Chains A and B, each alone.
Chain A
Amino acid sequence: MRARTRREFGRLTGAMALAALGPRLAAGEAKARVVVVGGGIGGATAAKYLAASARTIEVTLVEPKPNYTTCFFSNLYLAGLCSFESLTHGYKTLAQRYGINVIHDSVAAVDPVAKTVWLKSGPKLPYDRVVVAPGIAFNYDALAGYDEAATQVIPHAWNAGPQTQLLRRQLESMDDGGVFVLVAPPNPFRCPPAPYERASLIAYYFKQHKPGSRILILDAKDNFNSQDLFLDAWERHYRGMIEWLPAQFTGGIKAIDVKERSVRTAGETFKAAIANVIPPQQAGQFAQQIGLVDQSGWCPVDPITFESKLQPGIHVVGDAASAGDMPKSAFVANSQAKACAFAIVEALAASERAPPHLFNTCYTFLSPDDAVSNAVSFKPVAGTIKIIDNFVSQVQESAETRHRAAREAQSWYAAFTHDTFG
């Protein structure tokens, strides 16, 4: 083990800020190799914290897309309140500042016996550990009449990108007086308050630009996240504009008719000017392909290390993971990714193991100046992850409190995306 020079230390902390004095290499010792598959919030955070925590680890990040567009805050874009570019983040800093080997390619297969990741374009990457962050896939089989091709007419816009832009174009070209039908998915799904935030912000857009238009939410559920806060806000900001129909009222969503742009429920068919179908969800396809998924459709993981319970040596973080009480959110992905990165550093160095602190924070916009927040702490308990504390905004809060939360949310976005990509 050699001591670092003062200059070297300064360079490291200056560049990485969070660089821990993790394990160092003895001369001639080979670096451990970690391959991170998927460059969303979970994958990018894991790659960054692995690289920043231990210089004894060589980190490769495999992601097909050149940029990542955040799903969180994309409802603001739909309402015309921010640009698409402001939601888009590249991987340059991760490569240049943290020395992460960023490869824009897809993974064809993982061989857990030979400990090798095979890239689609041919190369093989040997690994000591793999972190997989594949996000979500849509379970089209669970919704008659809706499939991949249908998304070009009726977008889900639940992976941010071209789908989000398509839905925005439809909103812009819609005639005033139309009905926007939003089909909300069954649990569990990515970002529980987001379908209802979307309804709120699109109502805001309609109020400004197409005041005769309405929103109809056809829900696969009988209740939803922060329901009291949303119902209160809809009454205050958008009276008569948003109607929510639970499954027990409609008898459930039966089929989507793409040609007619309509949604058939057990009792009635609803025709839309714009339909936005958020389908039932499961772990990203890659997770299914390499055997990380159980019958729930998600990836069971160890609550401390996020190592797959089905495939040793492969860790799963983010939306694809089935992690007890933790919801599927960007904040959770970031929190899990750090816990996972530190667990891998500890495992590779056989060093002290500290139990992780896990959190979720959600900011939800009810209007551009009226936001609510939710903060939850979690702990690994008896093989799963349990909620410890849960603090949430209340109906009847002052306008100033809500306005402050809206401003704080914008600041949070900047800091959070910096923590992940910067």
Chain B
Amino acid sequence: MRKIIAASITAGSFITFTDPSLAADRDRGARLAAMCASCHRLDGGDGGIPTILGMSPEMLTRTMLAYRSRERPSHIMRAIALSLSDEEIATVARYLAALDKQVRP
């Protein structure tokens, strides 16, 4: 399942990014991911803080919701998870999954 979703997004970003809605989604994802980059390296490098690349969009979404509900403890992740809307979490999760394919093919 994960493979199919990620593959279609990757294909989308390579070939049909001239589709304005896809490009806009990617732009929004990139801007949200910029916020993650203050603590998580997004180039595949290992900075010590757990990487958020290589997670499926579903997994990343579940993790964010667990931080939001306090099921997983972290001041920082809780503040971020509460700040993002469900739609924004889905957008950044899609972006990171696509980015993963670029930086760690």
- A residues sitting closer than 8 Å to B (CB atoms) are 1, 3-4, 6, 9-10, 13-14, 17-22, 49, 53, 331, 334-335, 338, 342, 352, 354, 357, 359, 361, 373-377, 379, 388-393, 407-408, 410-412, 414-416, 418-419
- Verify A334–B83 contact, CB threshold 8 A: no
A377 to B38, CA, bound (A): 14
- Verify B38–A389 contact, CB threshold 8 A: no
A334 to B13, CA, bound (A): 28
- B residues sitting closer than 8 Å to A (CB atoms) are 13-14, 17-18, 23-24, 26-28, 30-35, 37-43, 45, 47-49, 75-76, 78-80, 82-84, 99, 102-103
- Verify B48–A411 contact, CB threshold 8 A: yes
- CB neighbours of A419 from chain B (8 A): 37-39, 41
Closest to A49 in B: B34
A53 to B17, CA, bound (A): 15
Knowing that A18-B42, A331-B38, A354-B31 touch, tell me 14 more A-B residue pairs with CB under 8 angstroms.
Answer: A9-B14, A14-B102, A17-B37, A17-B102, A53-B30, A342-B34, A359-B83, A375-B76, A411-B47, A414-B47, A415-B39, A415-B41, A416-B38, A419-B37
A416 to B49, CA, bound (A): 10
A335 to B84, CA, bound (A): 15
Closest to B35 in A: A357
- CB neighbours of A20 from chain B (8 A): 26-27, 30-31
- CB neighbours of B30 from chain A (8 A): 18-21, 53
Taking A18-B30, A19-B30, A22-B27 as contacts, is the C-beta distance between A359 and B45 under 8 angstroms? Answer: no
A388 to B76, CA, bound (A): 13
Which of A14, A335, A407 is close to B38, meaning CB atoms less than 8 Å apart?
A: A335
- Verify B35–A338 contact, CB threshold 8 A: yes
Closest to A407 in B: B48
Provide the main secondary structure of the chain B interface. Answer: helix
- CB neighbours of B23 from chain A (8 A): 21
A1 to B13, CA, bound (A): 16
Q: List 21 A-B contacts (CB under 8 A).
A: A3-B18, A4-B17, A6-B14, A10-B102, A17-B42, A17-B103, A20-B26, A20-B27, A21-B13, A335-B35, A354-B31, A359-B76, A361-B39, A361-B75, A374-B75, A389-B82, A407-B48, A412-B49, A414-B48, A415-B41, A419-B38
Which of B27, B41, B99 is close to A21, meaning CB atoms less than 8 Å apart?
A: B27
- Verify B14–A21 contact, CB threshold 8 A: no
- Verify B38–A359 contact, CB threshold 8 A: yes
- Verify A392–B75 contact, CB threshold 8 A: yes
- CB neighbours of A14 from chain B (8 A): 102-103
A21 to B28, CA, bound (A): 10
A407 to B41, CA, bound (A): 16
A9 to B42, CA, bound (A): 17
A338 to B99, CA, bound (A): 19
Taking A14-B103, A18-B30 as contacts, is the C-beta distance between A391 and B78 under 8 angstroms? Answer: yes
A22 to B26, CA, bound (A): 9
Give min CB distance, A193 to chain B, whole Å: 14
- Verify A357–B38 contact, CB threshold 8 A: no
Give min CB distance, A276 to chain B, whole Å: 29
Give min CB distance, A4 to chain B, whole Å: 8
- Verify A13–B103 contact, CB threshold 8 A: yes
Closest to B22 in A: A21
A375 to B39, CA, bound (A): 12
- CB neighbours of B40 from chain A (8 A): 415
Closest to B83 in A: A377
- CB neighbours of A388 from chain B (8 A): 82-83
- Verify B75–A393 contact, CB threshold 8 A: yes
Give min CB distance, A254 to chain B, whole Å: 39
Which of A13, A354, A373, A411 is close to B76, meaning CB atoms less than 8 Å apart?
A: A373
A411 to B49, CA, bound (A): 5
Which of A13, A376, A391, A414 is close to B102, meaning CB atoms less than 8 Å apart?
A: A13
A355 to B39, CA, bound (A): 21
A373 to B102, CA, bound (A): 33
- CB neighbours of B103 from chain A (8 A): 13-14, 17
Give min CB distance, A73 to chain B, whole Å: 14
Closest to B42 in A: A17
- Verify A359–B14 contact, CB threshold 8 A: no
Interface centre among B26, B32, B33, B34 (most CB of A within 10 A): B34
- CB neighbours of B45 from chain A (8 A): 418
Interface centre among B40, B47, B84, B102 (most CB of A within 10 A): B47
Taking A17-B42, A19-B30, A411-B49 as contacts, is the C-beta distance between A377 and B37 under 8 angstroms? Answer: no
- CB neighbours of A418 from chain B (8 A): 41, 45, 47
- CB neighbours of B24 from chain A (8 A): 352
